[in-house]
């Protein structure tokens, strides 16, 4: 029987944060209604948000605060049918929700006065602008906030991904927002950094003396990072078709995971210390160029198939025209530093795959000498599997003797830590945790501009090589795990995806 202790949950006590006002630009959009507002509701429900806080949605569409509250509620119920709103809690929360209709690109609009009125007298309170807006307008909106006298000494700004679509455009965004806000007031979200199991990576690595001595090329054969999704991409084609899997997922989420697996121990968990170590990893990534791009990268696009028993159109059909945007990519990545020079990292991500799972697999080397007779069975190398979602957990695969009288027979079995069995039933999701981290000024969970730009520098060289080499996009059937070329990538090295 598994035991759940109150200390296990970590979430049994939520310390209230300081009062704040949050203004969500793009408050009527998908992100705000599907993720941000429900996240704030849950933090309210756990009494973490003080009652003097204000939650202000804003977009161009005109509506009253009452209509907006209803919209937030309707969407909550639509997106989370199993998560019943508590009536009293909702009513109390809703009193703090307001809405202001303003075109954030129109600096001269008199609608800004409505926002000023709502924020009057709050200059000493923490103020957070969350830009859940179409990418590309962050700089101008920052300038308009400032020009309207709405930036105080206690203002922070949150930027959603994507920050640019290549190094140059990312620099433009960072420069333009940087003209208004100091770097330590800018919170660039990568929601993977808010996931419980991702945060646990540092603890797993650095709070267990067992692991650190073997966490290097001498003992680790290779690392695999997979973020597989079942959802299609075609519904977001206006964005996705210009982005593709490399920009949408690898430049941010997968590289962040890779950094956390590969980085040196930071001296503490302060933002500067953690970010400095991640930047060193990003700078050590071996450039993939025309000479290596065909051997080390794979591009795929899903064609018609069925995902979990549901018929699925091909991506090009969804988009409505032929397109060579990749919905899947797999890469072999080398980190040229002391710790990792001999250990390849294989990473892959795709839409419309056979299942939804995100996993980091650390494959250790085989034992040097076998003293067992061949009939005992195959000795497999130890493998550490860190499951990020769903069914979060950590599994260490080890060889054991099969119990019983059958002699020395081997079995490969897991030592299993399942979050569902060990910890509290519900812990805050990534956006809940990250929103509270903004209030607490915990910049370590957000990306510094140098990280974003270092990641783009590496990704740009791949994009460049793809375009110069006319890199083919291999079709894969929706509901499978990518094109066969992704298996060949590992097969050539005598390995396979787990
Ligand atoms: P939507 O298109 O659903 O929403 C965009 C929002 O911005 C709407 O509320 C829109 O309302 C508002 N808006 C657009 N232009 C202006 C303007 N000039 N002034 C004020 N409001 C404006 O987009 P998403 O919510 O999906 O995405 C928002 C951002 O978050 C994007 O940058 C996206 O890349 C990023 N993101 C989204 C994720 C998601 O899960 N949805 C995940 C990760 C990142 P109106 O038209 O009324 O002005
Ligand atoms: C977003 C990408 O950043 O992450 C989406 O733009 C992707 O394409 C999503 O679906 C995946 O996030 P999660 O938390 O569902 O794994």
The yes-or-no verdict on residue 464 having pLDDT over 70 is: yes
Q: Are strands 357-364 and 310-312 parallel, antiparallel or unpaired?
A: unpaired
Q: Are 482 and 353 contacting, i.e. CB atoms less than 8 angstroms apart?
A: yes
Ligand 1 atom closest to 105 (CA):
18
Q: Label residue 409 by pLDDT band (50, 70, 90).
A: confident
The yes-or-no verdict on residue 48 having pLDDT over 90 is: yes
Whether a cis peptide bond, with omega within 30° of 0, leads into 162 is yes
What is the mean predicted confidence (pLDDT) over 79-102?
A: 95
The yes-or-no verdict on residue 13 having pLDDT over 90 is: no
Q: Give the mean pLDDT of the chain.
A: 94
**Quick check: ipTM above 0.90?**
yes
Least confident residue range of 219-228, 234-243, 249-258 = 234-243
What is the mean predicted confidence (pLDDT) over 69-82?
A: 96
Asked if residue 248 has its Cβ within 6 Å of ligand 2, the reply is: yes
Q: Label residue 196 by pLDDT band (50, 70, 90).
A: confident
Q: Are 330 and 342 contacting, i.e. CB atoms less than 8 angstroms apart?
A: no
The Cα 130–Cα 151 span in angstroms is: 13
Cα-to-centroid distance, 251 and ligand 2 (Å): 12
The Cα 411–Cα 9 span in angstroms is: 33
State the pTM of this model: 0.94
The yes-or-no verdict on residue 425 having pLDDT over 80 is: no
pLDDT of residue 3: 40
- Maximum Cα–Cα distance for the chain, whole Å? 84
Contact residues for 21 (Cβ-Cβ < 8 A; gap 6+): 53, 54, 55, 56, 119, 122, 125, 126, 127, 128
Q: Label residue 391 by pLDDT band (50, 70, 90).
A: confident
The Cα 106–Cα 143 span in angstroms is: 11
The Cα 127–Cα 150 span in angstroms is: 9
Q: Which ligand has the shortest distance to the CA of 243?
A: 2
Residue list for the binding site for NADP(+): 60, 161
Asked if residue 236 has its Cβ within 6 Å of ligand 1, the reply is: no
Asked if residue 28 has its Cβ within 6 Å of ligand 1, the reply is: yes
Cα-to-centroid distance, 189 and ligand 1 (Å): 15
Query: If we measure between CA atoms, which residue out of 460, 466, 490 comes closest to residue 170?
Result: 460
Neighbours of 43 (CB within 10 A): 23
Q: What HEC string does the chain produce?
A: CCCCCHHHHCCCCCCCCCCEEEEEECCCCHHHHHHHHHHHHHHHHCCCCCCCCEEEEEECCCCCHHHHHHHHHHHHHHHCCCCCCCHHHHHHHHCCEEEEECCCCCCCCCCHHHHHHHHCCCCCCEEEEEECCCCCCHHHHHHHHHHCCCCCCCEEEEECCCCCCCHHHHHHHHHHHHCCCCHHHEEECCHHHHCHHHHHHHHHHHCCCCCHHHCCCCCEEEEEEEEECCCCCHHHHHHHHHHHHHHHHHHHHHHHHHHHHHCCCCCCCCHHHHHHHHHHHHHHECCCCCCCHHHHEEEEEEECEEECCEEECCHHHHHCCCCCCCCEEEEEECECCCCCCCCCEEEEEECCCCCCEEEEEEEECCCCCCCCCHHHCCCCCCEEEEEEECCCEEEEEEEEECCCCCCCCEEEEEEEEEHHHHCCCCCCCHHHHHHHHHHCCCHHHCECHHHHHHHHHHHHHHHHHHHHCCCCCEEEECCCCCCHHHHHHHHCCCCCCC
Asked if residue 229 has its Cβ within 6 Å of ligand 2, the reply is: yes
pLDDT of residue 294: 96
Alpha-carbon Rg of the chain, whole angstroms?
Answer: 24
The Cα 314–Cα 465 span in angstroms is: 26
What residues are labeled active site? 253
What is the mean predicted confidence (pLDDT) over 429-442?
A: 96
Cα-to-centroid distance, 134 and ligand 1 (Å): 5
Q: Are 473 and 299 contacting, i.e. CB atoms less than 8 angstroms apart?
A: yes
Residue list for the binding site for substrate: 191, 195, 229, 248, 351
pLDDT of residue 8: 42
The yes-or-no verdict on residue 10 having pLDDT over 60 is: no
What is the mean predicted confidence (pLDDT) over 343-366?
A: 97
What is the mean predicted confidence (pLDDT) over 265-270?
A: 92
The Cα 302–Cα 353 span in angstroms is: 9
Percent of the chain with pLDDT over 70: 97
């Amino acid at each position: 029987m598994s035991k759940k202790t109150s200390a296990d949950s970590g979430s049994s006590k939520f310390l209230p944060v300081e009062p704040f006002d949050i203004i969500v630009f793009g408050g009527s959009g998908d992100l705000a209604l599907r993720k941000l507002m429900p996240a704030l509701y849950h933090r309210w429900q756990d009494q973490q948000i003080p009652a003097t806080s204000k939650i202000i949605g804003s977009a161009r569409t005109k509506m009253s605060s009452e209509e907006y509250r209803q919209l937030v509620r309707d969407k909550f119920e639509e997106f989370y049918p199993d998560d019943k709103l508590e009536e009293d809690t909702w009513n109390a929360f809703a009193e703090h929700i307001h809405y202001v209709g303003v075109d954030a690109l129109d600096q001269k609009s008199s609608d800004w006065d409505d926002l000023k009125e709502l924020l009057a007298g709050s200059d000493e309170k923490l103020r957070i602008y969350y830009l859940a807006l179409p990418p590309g307008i962050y700089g101008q909106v920052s300038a308009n906030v400032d020009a309207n006298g709405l930036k105080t000494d206690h203002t922070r700004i949150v930027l959603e991904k994507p920050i640019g679509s290549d190094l140059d455009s990312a620099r433009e965004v960072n420069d333009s927002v940087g003209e208004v806000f100091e770097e330590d007031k800018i919170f660039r979200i990568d929601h993977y950094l808010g996931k419980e199991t991702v945060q646990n990576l540092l603890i797993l690595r650095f709070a267990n003396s067992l692991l650190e001595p073997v966490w290097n090329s001498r003992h680790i054969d290779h690392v695999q990072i997979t973020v597989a999704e079942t959802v299609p991409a075609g519904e977001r084609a206006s964005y996705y078709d210009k982005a593709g899997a490399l920009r949408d997922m690898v430049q941010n989420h997968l590289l962040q995971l890779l950094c956390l697996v590969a980085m040196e121990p930071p001296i503490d968990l302060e933002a500067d210390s953690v970010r400095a170590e991640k930047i060193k990893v990003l700078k050590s990534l071996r450039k993939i160029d025309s000479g290596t791009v065909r051997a080390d990268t794979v591009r795929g696009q899903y064609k018609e198939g069925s995902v979990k028993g549901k018929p699925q159109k091909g991506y090009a059909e969804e988009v409505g025209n032929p397109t060579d945007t990749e919905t899947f990519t797999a890469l072999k990545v080398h980190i040229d530093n002391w710790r990792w020079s001999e250990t390849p990292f294989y990473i892959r991500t795709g839409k419309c795959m056979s299942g939804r799972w995100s996993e980091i697999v650390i494959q250790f080397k085989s034992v040097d000498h076998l003293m067992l007779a061949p009939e005992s069975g195959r000795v497999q190398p130890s493998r550490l599997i860190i499951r990020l979602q769903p069914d979060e957990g950590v599994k260490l695969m080890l060889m054991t003797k099969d119990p019983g009288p059958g002699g020395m027979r081997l079995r490969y079995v897991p030592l299993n830590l399942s979050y569902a069995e060990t910890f509290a039933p519900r812990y805050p999701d990534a956006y809940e945790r990250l929103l509270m981290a903004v209030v607490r000024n915990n910049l370590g969970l957000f990306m510094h501009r140098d990280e974003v730009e270092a990641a783009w520098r590496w990704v740009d060289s791949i994009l460049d090589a793809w375009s110069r080499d006319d890199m083919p996009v291999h079709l894969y059937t929706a509901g499978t795990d990518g094109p066969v070329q992704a298996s060949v990538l590992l097969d050539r090295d005598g390995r396979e995806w787990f």
